[in-house]
Amino acid sequence: MIQFPKPDVEQYFQTYRISHFAVSADEKRLFFDSNLNGQPNIWAMDLPGGYPYPLTYLNQSSQFIKPDPEGRHILTAFDRDGDENYHLYAIKPEGGVPFPIVPAEPNDRCYYSHLSEDGQRLYYITSRDNPNYLNSRRIDLESGVDVLLYSGEEVTSSLIAVSSNEKSFVVVKMYSNTYQTAHLHRNGEIESILPVSERQSQVTDVLFADDSRLLMITNDNEAYSYVAEYRLDTHEFRPLCKIEGEDVDIIRWHKASETLYFWTFTGPENRMYTLDKGTEQPRRVDMPLDTVEHVTVTKAGNVYISGRGAVQPHNIYRLMAGSESWEPLTANRVTGLDPSDLVYPDVIRYNSYDGLEIEALFFKAKPEQANGYTVFWPHGGPQASEAKFFRPMFQMLLAQGYHIFAPNFRGSTGYGAEFGKMVERDWGEGPRLDCVAGINWLFDEGISSLDRLFVVGGSYGGYMTLLLAGRHPELFRAAVDIFGPSNLFTFLESVPEDWKPMMDNWLGDPVRDRERLTKDSPITYLDQMVNPMLVIQGANDPRVVKAESDQIVAALQGKGVDVEYIVLDDEGHGFSRKTNEILVYRRMLEFLQKHQEAPVAQP
């Protein structure tokens, strides 16, 4: 019998990412953004059963894909090597060189909002002339006439919905990730949609069911987000549909059948529901994915979803109207491996320092592979969560014998409004102690120990990695920081301009909160950072700029700490190119293996 060797690291990365997708009006073509050839580009497939073919060769990530309803072109936006300065373009239906459709300077940011039903007028949001608060505009794609619709003031604003007759639109004002207000603009007047409330609630999505009725996601006066309705003629706001203990995350409306489709978030997974015309209770619909990232409901009532499962990489599925069976449209899989070769996580719960219950995903390496070491993974965000979605890095580490523990500490999404607010102006105390409680759970259960634990995290998780490495160095052998902020004062100064109006509510004020921000900055604890560290950074990262990593690396190297530093010149806040992804995670694995048996440094 042939004995094949153990899979190489690269084998776990022989999948591709699907960021978002779109479907042509006649549903004969599927478009999606993917690194299918190793580089980020837009691809297409003829339906049913076509073979994917590229539409662009820029090797740049797109922000959205919107086919013209008449099939004349495809609208999209590209940034440059991860800088997130997206500019708006049109490409021919058969692909080719993108054509700019909105004037923009190199540092301008543009965001798609809406395309009129005839495909003639594009509504968009731009930082041009208003980098902090953003402007909402409309451009006629034939004449080029560009009109300012709304100019943000005091807080960042976004045009989020436009009626089919284009006589009304909705602007959302963003005070923070958990506090947004929605405002209806029509006939030259502005009205607030939500009733006045002392509680800072949020509106995360709005759509026009018709020209006289809005549907939205909000958590106004409730612990969890729900679907609400607002009638333009009577100014009546009312809750429409709630699911106990679940946050509504995505809504779609099928006008012909008057059917509401919505997806909830329950911490580690999504669930799908429909609310049919004339019914009061929603019906749950089984899905082939654990988590959903993008959704389209066509005029024919067909539902398309893309997402991932814990042991399934990105794929796109279709549910035809009237059917109960999902049809896979893509066949993304881990080359040479069966899902049974991969590890599905257990959901565990533990009590934190103050009694708050924390949920976590625990990926346990197969007994025949386990090496006795554990990777502690604080997720990014921080107002996000670790869910049951496929991470090649996780499965690669699991195959090498590492357990992985990923807590959804306070501030994580999918656990209700108050839980999500707990991280605001408290980045480094409550969430850190939740992580320490999770580590103690690992120790108490005999899963790990002081000399057999690593910490690895990206973005906010990178920040938490640095903070844990500085405040609790005795708990870890070594740390891997992936583009994490190291100094909260310099981080506040360097975030994108349209983030800055929200930073006080999210993180704090550098003058008023100086003592707390100093206490919560990893760089404060340089003298206690004694364990080996690998730092990874995208040179073009606009969220956590390269200087954040430069300064911590330089300071630690000056103290003689064992620090390795990888800078990717063609990436931003993530890895869009397959070669970079493989390089980073191969180096990460080598780093962990190198420090398995090395003595643990003491502060």
Task: Indicate which CATH number applies to the domain containing 586.
Answer: 3.40.50.1820
Report if residue 278 sits inside a domain: yes
User: Are residue 399 and residue 455 in the same domain, yes or no?
Assistant: yes
What secondary structure letter does DSSP report for 6? P
CA distance 180 to 156: 10
Report pLDDT digits (tens) over 462-473: 999 999 999 999
Q: What is the mean pLDDT of residues 531-556?
A: 97
Q: Is the pLDDT of residue 322 over 80?
A: yes
Tell me: cis bond preceding 48? Omega within 30 of 0 counts: yes
User: Are residue 277 and residue 389 in the same domain, yes or no?
Assistant: no
338-343-344 Cα angle (round to 5): 110
What does the pLDDT read at residue 7?
81
Question: In whole numbers, what is the pLDDT of the chain averaged over residues?
Answer: 95
What does the pLDDT read at residue 592?
96
Report if residue 600 sits inside a domain: no
Report if residue 441 sits inside a domain: yes
Q: Which residue has the higher pLDDT, 20 or 196?
A: 20
Strand order in the sheet with 156-162: 156-162, 168-176, 179-186, 189-192
Which one of 306, 331, 356 terminates a domain?
331
Report if residue 446 sits inside a domain: yes
Report if residue 486 sits inside a domain: yes
- Tokens (6 digits) for 77: 């936006």
User: Are residue 420 and residue 461 in the same domain, yes or no?
Assistant: yes
**Residues 82 and 545 sit within 8 Å (Cβ to Cβ):** no
User: Are residue 317 and residue 373 in the same domain, yes or no?
Assistant: no
- Tokens (6 digits) for 417: 């409004």
User: Are residue 274 and residue 318 in the same domain, yes or no?
Assistant: yes
Q: What is the mean pLDDT of residues 490-515?
A: 97
User: Are residue 385 and residue 264 in the same domain, yes or no?
Assistant: no
Which one of 331, 354, 379 terminates a domain?
331
User: Are residue 327 and residue 352 in the same domain, yes or no?
Assistant: no
Helix residue spans in 341-459 (DSSP H)? 392-399, 417-421, 430-444
User: Are residue 326 and residue 368 in the same domain, yes or no?
Assistant: no
User: Are residue 400 and residue 487 in the same domain, yes or no?
Assistant: yes
Among 373, 371, 350, 372, smallest CA distance to 361 is for 350
Q: Is the pLDDT of residue 581 over 90?
A: yes
| Residue for token pair 């760089």 | 523
Domain of residue 451 covers 345-491+529-594
- Tokens (6 digits) for 368: 């025949």
Among 581, 572, 522, 525, smallest CA distance to 545 is for 572
Report pLDDT digits (tens) over 274-315: 999 989 899 999 999 999 999 999 999 999 999 999 999 999
Report if residue 460 sits inside a domain: yes
What does the pLDDT read at residue 361?
98
User: Are residue 364 and residue 463 in the same domain, yes or no?
Assistant: yes
CA distance 366 to 601: 30
92-95-101 Cα angle (round to 5): 45
Report pLDDT digits (tens) over 67-97: 999 999 999 999 999 999 999 999 999 999 9
Question: Cα 390 to chain center, whole Å?
Answer: 14
Confidence of residue 4 (pLDDT cuts 50, 70, 90): confident
What's 292's domain CATH number?
Answer: 2.40.10.500
CA distance 190 to 210: 19
Residue by residue, DSSP assigns 57-97 as -S---EEEEEE-TTSS-EEEEE-STT----EEEEE-TT--S
Q: What is the H or E stretch that residue 283 is in? A: strand 283-285
- Tokens (6 digits) for 526: 């340089």
What does the pLDDT read at residue 603?
55
Which one of 331, 354, 389 terminates a domain?
331
Report if residue 395 sits inside a domain: yes
Q: Is the pLDDT of residue 600 over 80?
A: no
Among 190, 198, 201, smallest CA distance to 136 is for 190
What does the pLDDT read at residue 195?
72
User: Are residue 350 and residue 427 in the same domain, yes or no?
Assistant: yes
CA distance 558 to 520: 22
Percent of residues, the chain, with pLDDT higher than 90: 92
What does the pLDDT read at residue 267?
83
Report pLDDT digits (tens) over 185-209: 999 899 999 876 667 899 999 999 9
Q: What is the mean pLDDT of residues 140-163?
A: 96
Report the SS3 class of residue 11.
helix
Question: Cα 449 to chain center, whole Å?
Answer: 32
Q: Report how many domains make up the chain.
A: 2
- Tokens (6 digits) for 296: 């389209």
Report if residue 114 sits inside a domain: no
User: Are residue 556 and residue 481 in the same domain, yes or no?
Assistant: yes
